[in-house]
């Protein structure tokens, strides 16, 4: 299950999710860097990243990817 492709896909998704969640929380708080509630913000982003990793595990496919979408070679090429 834990192939290199799977680990790379999962890590990429988790990092992106963490960054997006952190930016979302900071935007909703509407605060400056000096007044951010870092503990709460990082906890929310970390929770989102954990959920992303769990989703990747559940989405594991025969191809070894962490995605439910099966990519057909050449399908997206111009």
The pLDDT of residue 2: 77
Query: At 31, is the pLDDT very low, low, confident or very high (cuts 50, 70, 90)?
Result: confident
What pLDDT score was predicted for residue 73? 62
pLDDT of 1 over the 70 cut: no
Taking the C-alpha atoms of residue 78 and residue 42, their distance in angstroms, rounded to an integer, is 40
What pLDDT is attached to residue 68?
Answer: 67
Mean model confidence pLDDT for the chain:
84
Domain extent listing, the chain: 4-28+36-58
- Backbone φ and ψ of 15, nearest 5°: -65, -45
* Tens-place pLDDT, residues 37-64: 889 999 999 999 999 999 988 888 766 6
């Amino acid at each position: 299950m834990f192939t290199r492709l799977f680990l790379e896909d999962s890590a990429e998704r988790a990092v992106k999710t963490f960054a997006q969640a952190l930016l979302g929380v900071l935007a909703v708080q509407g605060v400056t860097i000096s007044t951010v509630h870092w503990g709460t913000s990082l906890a929310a982003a970390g929770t989102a990243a954990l959920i992303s990793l769990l989703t990747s595990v559940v989405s594991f496919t025969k191809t070894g990817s962490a995605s439910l979408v099966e990519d057909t070679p050449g399908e997206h090429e111009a």
